[in-house]
Amino acid sequence: MTTESSEDRDIAIIGMAGRFPGAEDLDAFWRVIAEGRDTISRFDADDGAEDSDLDGPRDGEQYVRARGVLQGIEDFDADFFDVNPVEAAQLDPQHRVWLEVAWEALEAAGYAHDRHQQMVSVYAGSFPNTYLHHNLLPDRAAVEEFVRMRRAQSFGLLVQSDPAFLPSRTAYKLNLRGPAINVQTACSTSLVAVALAVQGLSSYETDMAIAGGVCIAVPQRTGYFFQEGAIQSRDGICRPYDANACGTVFGNGAGAVVLKRLADARRDRDPVLAVIRGVAVNNDGHDKVSYFAPSVKGQAEVIATAQALAGVDPGTIGYVEGHGTATPMGDPIEVEALKLAFRQATRKESCCLGSVKGNIGHLDAAAGVAGLMRAVLALRHRRLPATAHFERPNPELRLEDSPFFVNRETGPWPEGPHPRRAGVSSFGIGGTNAHVVLEEAPVDPEGACDLHVPEKTTLLLSARSRAALDAYTGRVAGWVDAQCGGGQAPRPLTEVACALQQRRKLFSHRRAVRVVSWADARSALRDPERWDTETALEGRPKLVMSFPGQGSLHAGALARPLAEEPGLRGYFEPLARAASELAGFDLLGWATDPSADAEPLRRDNAKAQLAVFCVDVALARWLESRGVRADGFVGHSLGEWVGAHLAGVLTAEDALWAVHRRGQLMQETGPGAALVARLSEADAAPYLQGEVAVACVNGPQLCLLSGRPEAIERCAARLAADGVVSRAVPIDVAVHSPLMNPVVESLRRELPARRWHAPDRPLLSPVTGKWMLDGEVTSPDYWAAQPRLPVRFDAAVTTLLEEPCCVALEVGMGDSLTTLVRARLRNPKRQRALPLLGRPRDAAGWAPERLQRGLNELWACGIDVDLLGDLDPGTAAPTLPTYPFQRQRYWKDAPAARRATRQPLADAERVGPATGAGAAASADDLRDQLVDLVHDRSGIAREALDPALPFSSLGLDSLFLVQLAEVLTARFAITIGFAQLSQFNTVDKLAAAIRERTARAHREVAPSPRTGALGDFRGLFPLRRGDGRFPLLLIHGDLGNDLLPPLLPAGQSIYGYAHQGSDGERIRLRSVEALAGQCHAEWMAAEKGVPCIIAGHSFGGLVAHQVAYLLRRAGLPVDLLVLIDTAHPRCFKNPFPPGLRRVRRSVRHAIDGAGLLRDIARAELELVRRGRVPIADRSRYVLGMYELVGRRHAPPFLDVDTLLVCAADDDNGVAGNGWDASEFRRLEVESVPGDHLSIVRSKEAFEPIAESIARRVKHLHQKPTGHDR
């Protein structure tokens, strides 16, 4: 057996993350392990125990309150993962915790970003979802609704709850494109996931893999009954391999590792935490005592197979992280299997044996990865960990006959002739076993650095919110402190800067911190004055460089920038030399010597223009060297020539000649002057007298006027007299005025000799205010006329800001153009204007590091910038702090124990109160209703719901839209399908579509007596019109329709709803749901969804119940439901149901099961023959059909206050007519004298019912209405 390692076969662990009882991260986890601590929670009834439903142990029973509790499972950073609040509250907490842990592991590895090309897979598994059963499905009705999958909401809950979706949700949220495989092998799930990931990497099916598992059982703070012979501990303490071991304790936790082929990891300079040399998975088969029992043979075979595949001698393995459940059967069988696998290792006490379960308990699906991490941490720290609660070995293990020993305390792991190696076992109930052989990571050469050695660099930090950014800055500061222990740091600071830039995802809230050493970084990360913090634009911005025609240029202006940025000097010097030859002037010396004479440039326009041109071009080229590439250019006057050169229209030689010649010719036009005035171009017209012209239109109320000095002086006096603010500008030629006509003529003759080329990027003309065509750009006539024509920079800015997401970067000395653009920004969240240098701080020039800060600001607003240049990233990247999730509580509390409550989907279906149907609502009202509806269903803040944004941009997926379509259809009584929501994909579009459709339906079917809204059958008719408050709908009330109105308040609107088939027509709606849907549509057309009362008699009560359910599901208020002697369908199960016994006595004819079918068949035959059921047969036809329809109906839970009135003379032996209080928000039951029919036909019998309703109506009238309620 060879002991040599092969990088081609070995797998590197390059990232890990976990959350365990008492340990929020791996640093805390190692402290728990190293200290041998037990973090199992033990509690009693007065200490937050969640077992209040417990009646108490019976005689002889021992109840143990102990469990490994994971803190914060109710909390989640939903915004980070783009999960809306409603979905977050329904999402299995295992999925939520796993998403965060998987992200942290991938981020620790350096690949939680989209800039790499790696194919990443997910292999993961979880515990069964107890949150669904305990918190979301509180009663049998909810279970039925969920398992039958009759609505989109149920399917949504399935996707949010089922363990099968854990890996694919991870792949979707983290944008991973490799296989996403769900793993479930009980207790060995997470280690089997690791083994499958290794196999996928070995077969080159993937480049990287996230593997692990999660277990969160809800409720957490609950105990168990100890039972002799079972696996749970007698006293709530887990003692692996100890003589007093009496069972395990379960706990919650999650862990994930990131794996990669070792050769690839070394190539990509990834942090290697440990190396997987071999893995194996098998099953015990039938060779054991029982299905639940472990097998010596099965475990020994999987361990030996992993060792053989690893190519290592068992004698070189110094630590085994065992399964270690501390059960009387499990531990001896495990150790016996280890002895067989290690039989060649003859040296006594050569291998430490331990188990993490003594610290944190048995984490089921996460147990294997927890053990793997413990072994990796032991290798990293070179320490052999203690096993918690170990005092003396279980004599059944016979460790004296083996190479194994168990540590009572954590101790050093001595170095030997071989790399340190460890084995990790995990065995699942049912017999699926896994074993992994680990080896310590290859040792990289130490690169210790003095804390004060200069390393000028920038630390780049980002997060999704300002709070998270501040928290992350704090984490990095703490990490830097930890690295600086002992007066030295373990690596150059530049390697940390490279990792932060290259191996972290860029978020919108950004911060750049310029530092010069490790010691400086410790203080800079805590000093907000050292930070450049900005929020990136929403979207991918286009960058347009703007170039000024002048600037804050003075002698020595470039001294500091050129000294700080040698690269800039490399671009400026060649241009300055060429310009100096043309002008006979030492431009480089003048620009770098603060004591140089300023007059040469002040007196000579040609030299001044050359200087500005050279500075602007050099700055732009330096930016390009730092990865900043413009998408377009715009210049002001001379600056337009800079853009033309950078776009490739003119070479440097030709551009310098043209700029110099332009300056010479302008100088020859004689003296001139200019002033800037707070005027529009139109308002400036009266002042354009003599030789005064509008030279520049820089803003809606900002013009530059130029001309001869005496003319400008007279103009300034007139402006002052008229109260117009103006100021002189230090220009000594009459730029962009008719005095430039000689310049135009000369340039027209001379410019054609230059070489002109098509631009490689667009140019925005400040002459026309439009993007230039290729023919314009290369036209010498355009450039010849440019010094004469006015600069319409304001028009150019208007065109520039038509780009919805852009950055205007002023490249030059000053910020004048930035000021002009900022004043016109339409959307500061998507548009920004920045100066690279800005104004000089003082006479000495710009502040230190100003250029670097300009780059920082550019990066922070979302532009790609190489802030670090060609820094060496080192041989292996550091493992940096991970993202600080900003968690909030997303949790549905469990209902009270032993008590049924509302349906699990009720909260998801609830929407804001409606003010009316779409046809009646104003456009603004309807839009507000839809915003409220989306808010209530998704939990997205109203202020974040932009009505013009597509649903997809709001993070609403197709499943949400399917559910939304169902609610819209119910609410507005029109059909809105998923396809329509794809078309009407914003709130604004949807509101317009609903208004148009409901208006059309309103026109086509206006409510009238006996005419409702839609469908072949229309049963709604008004009994009395009132003031519109709390209208009452009475369904199938028979003569009660006439008896009720006089007994209710005079202003009460009352509607009746006729029996379908009562006129002898065919009964076409043959389910309670269909009948209720038709009634609901008619009611919505008539009353627009105002708060109402619904009553129903007999079978009509079932329809009324379902109509109330539809209204509440659409978010519409139902203030009271009255069921008048309505029996629950469960009472219909007998061959001769009580409900029909009562009807039989009342209508004097017998109905049995067979008779029902005969009556219906006879009626249907008459419909075929005559088109109508004879009068004599109609009651039997209607009653028979209602009996069959009622039998099939399953009333849902109803979130409505309900009054049930029972006829006292019809004692059917079923309390409350079969209804249970748990099926309503609140149920009151009253008994009135009379039988099933007399209570609605006799005024005397009906009066108690009417009085009971009237009392409640009066109470409602005393309450606020509509939205006020």
Looking at the DSSP bridge assignments, the partners of residue 257 are 16, 211
Q: Kindly tell me if the per-residue pLDDT of 52 is higher than 70.
A: no
Q: Kindly tell me if the per-residue pLDDT of 844 is higher than 80.
A: no
- Provide the pLDDT for residue 6: 61
Question: Which of residues 1011 and 164 earns the better pLDDT score?
Answer: 164
Chain position carrying tokens 């050569």:
350
- Provide the pLDDT for residue 1012: 32
Closest CA to 809 of 831, 836, 839, 829: 836
**What's the whole-number mean pLDDT along residues 523-552?**
90
**What's the whole-number mean pLDDT along residues 184-207?**
96
**What's the whole-number mean pLDDT along residues 1069-1080?**
83
**What's the whole-number mean pLDDT along residues 9-28?**
96
Q: Kindly tell me if the per-residue pLDDT of 792 is higher than 70.
A: yes
Give the model confidence (pLDDT) of 651-675 as tens digits. Answer: 999 999 999 999 999 999 999 999 9
- Provide the pLDDT for residue 1011: 33
Least confident piece of the model among 553-562, 719-728, 831-840, 1004-1013:
1004-1013
- Provide the pLDDT for residue 57: 57
Closest CA to 1217 of 1226, 1208, 1209, 1206: 1206
Taken in order 974, 979, 981, 983, the sign of the CA dihedral is negative
How far apart (Å, rounded) are the C-alpha atoms in residues 666 and 423? 84
CB 51 within 8 A of CB 307: no
* C-alpha pair distances (Å), 147 with each of 127, 137, 143, 836, 1110: 19, 11, 6, 62, 20
Lookup: tokens for 166? 């854990």
Residues 6 or more apart whose Cβ sits within 8 Å of residue 413: 318, 319, 378, 379, 382, 383, 384, 420
Lookup: tokens for 562? 């050129």
- Provide the pLDDT for residue 811: 95
Q: Kindly tell me if the per-residue pLDDT of 1179 is higher than 70.
A: no
% of the chain surpassing 90 pLDDT: 54
- Provide the pLDDT for residue 908: 29
Q: What is the pTM of this model?
A: 0.74
Q: Kindly tell me if the per-residue pLDDT of 45 is higher than 90.
A: no
Question: Which of residues 763 and 487 earns the better pLDDT score?
Answer: 763
| Residue 212 pLDDT grade (very low, low, confident, very high; cuts 50, 70, 90) | very high
- Provide the pLDDT for residue 1021: 79
**What's the whole-number mean pLDDT along residues 1129-1135?**
63
**What's the whole-number mean pLDDT along residues 1205-1230?**
80
Cα 22 → chain centroid: 27
Closest CA to 1040 of 1161, 895, 1207: 1207
Give the model confidence (pLDDT) of 403-418 as tens digits. Answer: 999 999 999 999 999 9
Biggest CA–CA distance in the chain, Å, is 124
* C-alpha pair distances (Å), 588 with each of 536, 558, 615, 620: 37, 9, 10, 18
Q: How far apart are the first and last CA of the chain?
A: 80
How far apart (Å, rounded) are the C-alpha atoms in residues 991 and 302? 63
Q: Kindly tell me if the per-residue pLDDT of 784 is higher than 80.
A: yes
Which value, in Å, is the radius of gyration of the alpha carbons in the chain?
Answer: 41
CB 3 within 8 A of CB 313: yes
Cα 585 → chain centroid: 60
Closest CA to 221 of 347, 73, 438, 328: 73
**What's the whole-number mean pLDDT along residues 1217-1241?**
84
Give the model confidence (pLDDT) of 610-634 as tens digits. Answer: 999 999 999 999 999 999 999 999 9
Please give the sequence-ordered ranges of beta strands (E in DSSP) within 576-711, or none if there are none: 632-635, 673-677, 693-699, 702-707
How far apart (Å, rounded) are the C-alpha atoms in residues 667 and 134? 87
- Provide the pLDDT for residue 1177: 66
- Provide the pLDDT for residue 208: 98
State the DSSP H helix or E strand holding residue 1145, giving kind and residue range, or none if neither.
helix 1138-1147
- Provide the pLDDT for residue 977: 67
Q: Kindly tell me if the per-residue pLDDT of 350 is higher than 50.
A: yes
Give the model confidence (pLDDT) of 894-906 as tens digits. Answer: 886 533 333 333 3
Domains and CATH numbers, the chain: 11-440 (3.40.47.10), 542-669+735-860 (3.40.366.10), 671-732 (3.30.70.250), 910-1001 (1.10.1200.10), 1022-1237 (3.40.50.1820)
Closest CA to 786 of 896, 958, 662, 610: 662
% of the chain surpassing 70 pLDDT: 85
User: What is residue 694's three-state secondary structure?
Assistant: strand
Give the model confidence (pLDDT) of 1023-1044 as tens digits. Answer: 787 776 788 888 875 545 666 6
Give the model confidence (pLDDT) of 560-608 as tens digits. Answer: 888 888 889 999 999 999 999 998 889 898 888 887 776 667 778 899 9
Looking at the DSSP bridge assignments, the partners of residue 393 are 242
Q: Kindly tell me if the per-residue pLDDT of 520 is higher than 60.
A: yes
Question: Which of residues 1060 and 994 earns the better pLDDT score?
Answer: 994
Q: Kindly tell me if the per-residue pLDDT of 741 is higher than 80.
A: yes
The alpha carbon torsion through 1137, 1141, 1144, 1149 (nearest 10 deg) reads: 70
- Provide the pLDDT for residue 900: 33
Question: Which of residues 44 and 1037 earns the better pLDDT score?
Answer: 44
Closest CA to 278 of 199, 210, 179, 344: 199
**What's the whole-number mean pLDDT along residues 444-464?**
86
Least confident piece of the model among 10-24, 336-350, 1044-1058, 1105-1119:
1044-1058
Give the active site residues. 187, 323, 362, 637
Give the model confidence (pLDDT) of 1005-1016 as tens digits. Answer: 433 333 333 334
CB 702 within 8 A of CB 670: no
Give the model confidence (pLDDT) of 355-382 as tens digits. Answer: 999 999 999 999 999 999 999 999 999 9
Mean pLDDT across the chain: 85
Lookup: tokens for 976? 């809105």
**What's the whole-number mean pLDDT along residues 713-721?**
95
User: What is residue 62's three-state secondary structure?
Assistant: strand
Chain position carrying tokens 């990443």:
120
Burial level of 624, CB count in 10 A (0-12/13-18/19+)? middle
Question: Which of residues 245 and 1168 earns the better pLDDT score?
Answer: 245
How far apart (Å, rounded) are the C-alpha atoms in residues 680 and 698? 9
